[in-house]
Amino acid sequence: MQATATVLVYSDDANTREQVRLAVGRRPAPDAPLVEFLECATSAAVLTELDKGGIDVCVLDGEAAPMGGMGLCRQIKDEVFRCPPVLLLIGRPQDAWLATWSRAEAAVTLPVDPVEFAAALAAILRRKNLVGT
């Protein structure tokens, strides 16, 4: 198992970023690695961090402004070599089809439900083989 997973969290709303951090705590599941958060408030900051590398999972706020997480997800899937998996935060369950369009690996609704979010993040980490089996 990897010791630490780096999770990039993008939202223009500091409260949304905090919800994500609080939902996961130190790790999303007992078999998951410790999580280190890297917060970004702008899409430009996300692109800069992805260029540096070392990101295991991106959590993108679909409701962020001026650039929403769905459009940003689609962009990074097209432009970033070996793009990390994306967990998208969506405003309504009906927006799930947009999450599929954006090519996100998973989506959960806002406000962040700690149990649902932690389970979705742990599932992504499992698929990336970042957890013990």
- DSSP-assigned letter for residue 57: E
Strand pairing report for 57-61 and 34-40: unpaired
The Cα-based distances of 74 to 33, 71, 116 in angstroms read 27, 5, 23
Residue 38 DSSP symbol = E
Rounded CA-CA distance 34/131 in Å is 10
Question: Given this model, what pLDDT does residue 128 score?
Answer: 81
pLDDT per residue, tens digit, the chain (133 aa), is 568 999 999 999 999 999 999 999 999 999 999 999 999 999 999 999 999 999 999 999 999 999 999 999 999 999 999 999 999 999 999 999 999 999 999 999 999 999 999 999 999 999 987 655 4
- Which CATH number is 4-127's, of 3.30.70.100, 3.30.930.10, 3.40.50.2300, 2.130.10.10? 3.40.50.2300
Q: Give 69's contacts (C-beta < 8 A, 6+ positions apart).
A: 10, 11, 60, 61, 62, 63, 88, 89, 102
Q: What per-residue confidence (pLDDT) applies to 86?
A: 98
Tokens of 127: 């698929």
Strands (E), the chain: 4-10, 34-40, 57-61, 86-90, 106-109
State the pLDDT at residue 130: 64
Domain chopping of the chain, boundaries = 4-127
